[in-house]
Amino acid sequence: MLKYFLPSKHVKSIFDIYPESLNEQSVKGIITDLDNTLVAWDAPHATSKIAEWFRQMNEHHIHITIISNNNLERVKKFSEPLNAPFLFNARKPLPHSFKRAAKEMKLSQDNIIVIGDQLLTDVLGGNLAGFSTILVTPIAQTDSKATRFNRKIERRILSYMRKKGKISWEE
C-alpha cells in the first residue's frame, strides 16, 4: 500500500522541471496541482515566473491541465489568464479527475506526469490513476486548515519511507 505514496521523483520546485528533459522522456502532458505547487495556497494569481514556465512548456508542445480540490472561483481566477484548462473540486486522491484530465488532453498516461506538493492527494491520486508523479516541496510554510492535518500524516509516511531507504531527499 505504501508504494502508492512514493513519488517517481522529488524536486524542490516546478522550476526544476524543464521542458527539454520532459521531451527526452516523451512527456507531452502535465497534470498539476495549484495550491502550494504553482503558487502559495493564498496567492490568487500566477507570478510572472509561473507564466513564463507555462509559456516554455507550451513552446515545447507540453500541455498543462491544473486540477485542484479547490472551488471554481479560485481555480478559474488563477487558470484563465494562463489559458490553462482546469478541473476544480477534483476530489483528489480519487483517480477520476486525473483520468479525465488525460482524456481531455488526448494523451496516454505514459506521456503524462502528475506534479503536486502533497503525498495524500497529488502523489496518491496520480499513482492510483497510473501516472508518473513528481513531488515538489510546498511553496508556503503555512497551509489551509484541512491541509495541516494531511501534512502531519505525510511527515509520518515520509519518515517511515526514509528509514526504509525508499527516499533519500530532505524536506
pTM for this entry: 0.89
Q: Which residue has the higher pLDDT, 66 or 145?
A: 66
* Residue 171 included in any domain: no
Could you give the number of structural domains in the chain?
A: 1
At 124-149, the pLDDT tens digits run 999 999 999 999 999 977 666 667 77
Work out the pLDDT band at 163, boundaries 50, 70, 90.
confident
Listed range (107-116, 117-126, 138-147) with the worst mean pLDDT: 138-147
Which neighbouring-strand residues pair with 35? 39
* Residue 93 included in any domain: yes
Radius of gyration of the chain (CA): 15
Residue with cell 502550494: 36
pLDDT at 85 over 90: yes
Q: Is the peptide bond between 93 and the residue preceding it cis, with omega within 30 degrees of 0?
A: yes
* Residue 53 included in any domain: yes
All 3 cell numbers of residue 61? Answer: 508542445
Domain CATH number, residue 72: 3.40.50.1000
Mean pLDDT of the chain: 91
* Residue 59 included in any domain: yes
Neighbours of 162 (CB within 10 A): 14
* Residue 168 included in any domain: no
Q: Which residue has the higher pLDDT, 100 or 149?
A: 100
* Residue 99 included in any domain: yes
Percent with pLDDT over 70 in the chain: 94
* Residue 140 included in any domain: yes
Range of the domain at 134: 2-163
* Residue 94 included in any domain: yes
